[in-house]
Amino acid sequence: MKQIVMLGTGLDTMGGIASVVRVYEEAGLLRRFGVRYLATHCDGGAARKLSAMLAALAAFAWLLLRGRVGLVHVHMASRASCWRKSLFLLLAFAARVPAILHLHGGGFAQFYGAECGPLRQRFVRHVFRRCARVVVLSAGWKQWVEGMCGHPHVVCVHNPVLLPPASAWEGRARGAVLSLARLGPQKGSFDLLQAAAEVAPQVAALELRLGGDGEQEAVRARAGQLGIAAHLNLLGWVAGEGKQRELALARLFALPSYHEGMPMSVLEAMAAGVPVLATTVGGIPEAVADGVEGFLVAPGDVAALAARLRQLLQDEALARQMGAAGRHKVETTFSTQAVLPQLERVYRELGFAPL
């Protein structure tokens, strides 16, 4: 019996793709369609990553040779993820198996335009065009992919999020600002520190709770230079119950990124009833309407970031109202009940119905 084979990073790894697929798994999508998941990547050193890729490649090739693969669903980001997943897609093309390319990663346009020369760009276009469907995370990304490769079947499917139980607003720490992302310039970590330094004199309870790997020591050093070391709490990578505790504690969620797709962390914050302070990049404006579920500023605009940070920390009624609006938006637009039927429709169009 032929089956759907889904390819992506290990479900125990850090990052957005793993978060999305874990939601698929918890919501029962993989079980309903009999999807076999192969992890092509893992956390760790180069040898461990290579071993994971080769093991997945061997397993995938064996399934193809046995005629067991009826559809391939590939989760792809930029750089190494693009080249790694392209190997699997080329095997699928050779075996005449239809493929879904599911594009993640807010930096793909920059990767394609600035880091790929003409030959690599031609290869990327070829891979995209050969796929039966290209799934993207927002209307903006749909427009970009259609312009890049002219594919006639680009489908927008938002990242889904599970709705946690509603938490009492009274239990939130008055000055707790949560951010969950890889620490570094691309996620706006240093912009957030600068904005916090401007706000700290007016909000004595301010606490930056930053969860994520990345440039932790550089962030710590910069906070010291800005005189806000006492306001900084580096949480390390946060997942599972720890993430839910942080979301229940937070007064607001901040992600002043320079590039994004549709960040799961923003959707998870909205689902938890936390107002969002983010930037006008990627699919974020489709999730957060400025002034409704939170505030949006231009990437790199530290003054605007500081002003909105101060406003949300000082105006409790507004923050609470925005948090409630965010949870409602997730219920209607980004919950598993709203999103997964769209992906199931793609599966059905390509010949697969639930078991």
**Is residue 151 domain-shared with residue 76, that is, in the same domain?**
yes
Note whether residue 14 is domain-resident.
yes
CB hemisphere CA count around 41 (13 angstroms): 21
**Is residue 153 domain-shared with residue 205, that is, in the same domain?**
no
The identity of residue 197, as a single letter, is: A
**Is residue 12 domain-shared with residue 111, that is, in the same domain?**
yes
Average pLDDT over residues 168-195: 96
Q: In this model, does residue 77 exceed pLDDT 90? A: yes
Note whether residue 141 is domain-resident.
yes
Q: What is the number of domains present in the chain?
A: 2
pLDDT band at 229 (very low <50, low <70, confident <90, very high): very high
Given a contact cutoff of 8 angstroms between Cβ atoms, the answer to whether 124 and 313 are in contact is no
pLDDT tens sequence across 250-262? 999 999 999 998 9
Rounded to 5 degrees, what are φ and ψ at 154? -100, 125
Note whether residue 103 is domain-resident.
yes
Q: In this model, does residue 167 exceed pLDDT 90? A: no
Q: Which two tokens stand for residue 25?
A: 């798994």
**Distance of alpha carbon 231 from its chain centroid, rounded?**
27
**Is residue 284 domain-shared with residue 316, that is, in the same domain?**
yes
**Is residue 52 domain-shared with residue 140, that is, in the same domain?**
yes
Note whether residue 327 is domain-resident.
yes
Report the CATH number that the domain containing residue 212 is assigned in CATH.
3.40.50.2000
**Is residue 103 domain-shared with residue 236, that is, in the same domain?**
no
- Number of Cβ within 10 Å of residue 2's Cβ equals 14
The pLDDT value given to residue 19: 92
Supply the range of the domain harboring residue 129.
3-160+336-349
- Which regions of the chain does DSSP assign to beta strands (E)? 3-9, 36-41, 69-76, 99-103, 133-136, 154-156, 176-180, 207-211, 232-236, 252-255, 276-279, 294-297
**Is residue 180 domain-shared with residue 154, that is, in the same domain?**
no
The pLDDT value given to residue 15: 83
Average pLDDT over residues 10-15: 89
Rounded to 5 degrees, what are φ and ψ at 255? -145, 80
Note whether residue 354 is domain-resident.
no
**Is residue 199 domain-shared with residue 281, that is, in the same domain?**
yes
Note whether residue 262 is domain-resident.
yes
**Is residue 328 domain-shared with residue 340, that is, in the same domain?**
no
The pLDDT value given to residue 249: 96
